[in-house]
Structure 1
Amino acid sequence: MTIVVTGAAGFIGSNFVLNWLTHSEEKVIALDKLTYAGNLENLKSVEANANYEFAQGDIGDSRLVAKLLHQHQPRVIINFAAESHVDRSIHGPDDFMQTNILGTYRLLEEARSFFNTLSEVGQKQFRFLHVSTDEVYGTLSTNDRAFKEEKRYEPNSPYSASKAASDHLVRAWNHTYGLPVLTTNCSNNYGPYHFPEKLIPLCVLNALNGKDLPIYGDGQQIRDWLYVVDHCKGITTVLEKGVIGETYNIGGWNEKTNLEVVNTLCDLLDELKPREDGKSYREQITFVKDRPGHDQRYAIDATKISKELGWKPEETFETGIRKTVQWYLDHQDWVANVQSGEYQNWLTKNYS
């Protein structure tokens, strides 16, 4: 048996592949376009694994996808492939429309074509699992209830709008064509192999390099934080137990303001790798102009997946963030290799 994982060299996709291969003998075909955030170093530890095979390519390349599906006959497609950074979507939305909407459409079409060639037994086993985000639901005020699966979609950025569109496509391919789909909407992930343009890895690495720790606006934006390995286990649970056509929210039950998160990072670094001058890393915190349309609060209600499928996160924010900071301290070679010229130019463009 085989599964296909798209976006497999990205942050969440690579963590999923690594976690999958620790507990399953089922072969993984890892597909990734290898854009700026796709990094084969993330998968270096499984390169020699007989149950792992990498293919470079775009989910929008119908010919390539069709070839992979017919060659490997997977029982599952898990779609992590996406442009995912809100700031990038504001400056250049076209890539988000191409990958998140048209790419998902073409992937669905090839999955449907492949599904129609399967035997009755093969069709009963087949699943298309689409990984999405809590940002499709819009924003919350401080006293609003957390997002449930039936919450109306109200995306506010080009990124979240493109993901909302992809979610609707997945739903439609189930309702119209009978493709057996599952959708997950997750909260903010953090953990190993996170490309350093997102808040947590950016601040860890800037702190270690003596740079400012940039926080948008007043830093009071609230996010629910989910350790990436918990997310991967949640996806596996949905794959194994989820009801076809259903959506499952996967969250960490860890609401924190951005400023709280950065202060926690500084305190951990003060403990694990103190500054040479004895001062706290908190002194490097600086507030920068807020980004356009910045949503105030995201919060996931993960009751459904807990009650119906028996999943809950294993890490608290305190345990997960400690593991994350320690991972970056222990993997300085990975950090050095990922910090390309383009990455540095991107930081200058957004945070100068």
Structure 2
Amino acid sequence: MALPSKIIFPIILLLVTLSLSKAELDAHYYDKKCPQLEKIISETILSATFQDPKVPARILRMFFHDCFIRGCDASILLDSTPKNQAEKDAPPNLSVQSFYVIDEAKAKLEKACPHTVSCADIIAIAARDAVTMSGGPYWKVLKGRKDGKVSKASDTINLPTPTSNVRQLIQSFAKRGLGVKDLVTLSGGHTLGFSHCSSFEARLHNFSLLNDIDPSLNTEFALDLRKKCPKPNTNGNAGDFLDSTASVFDNDYYRQVLEGKGLFSSDQSLVGDYRTRWIVEAFAKDQSLFFKEFAASMLKLGNVGVSENGEVRFNCRIVNSET
């Protein structure tokens, strides 16, 4: 039975709207527009890393936090204004810090190919380079993202936290079109970096009525952490590395978690749930498998919320109408 014309028209309009709003990304998007793009970004990341070894972990975290809020649109780069507190000034992003690295890459790209490369694409490529330079896998980044015009600190409440459990993590990832395997795989990004005590000290002191220390923690590891994060803790810079090879991208994170040495309760929770444990075990045994899956999950993450609605900012910190 044929549908009435008054029904068909709205359906066609909806399909057209969806096709226009969803951007099609392409690994060769800038081949003719800005062929030196990847070289400029990789050299910028490498130079910044020589100056500050924390840069790769921060850039990788920046990409994740950007894509999880409003999609991969570089909203995390926008500065706050007198009327609006932006994402970068929200508590979950205060430790990201290396925004200046993206600024440097953008400034060089504006000279080489003015008003061509989006800030969102710069973050995506920089995240790949941060991983590769640290010993991790390489993948061809899909490009063609647009920069968003909205950034609200209040939106960061939707980011997964160090205290999230597996159920909460699965739900959070599912909202972004990411599955359980993506959750465990992308958690492996914690192979890079350092965390301050504030993100995990609740596991070390007065954890519950029955246990002073989180029982899921390896006892020796927990006692070592308590020395680094005493109570009260007067050293705001105190903390620990996320795994034992924190400047190298490898599968050590998964081995650590299996030994009860996951720094965050969100990390350790991956071992306690049948839906995630088998993946942790597989990656702990096979680094090449982890690398393959990480590249695939990063490509999926890079597609979250991507649309044609946006702009290519002249300056990554402000929308073009304010430049």
Q: Does the TM-score normalized on the shorter chain lie above 0.5?
A: no
Q: What is the TM-score with the length of structure 1 in the denominator?
A: 0.24
**Greater relative contact order: 1 or 2 (C-alpha under 8 angstroms, separation 6 or more)?**
2
Rg bigger for which structure? 2
Q: Which structure carries more strand by proportion?
A: 1
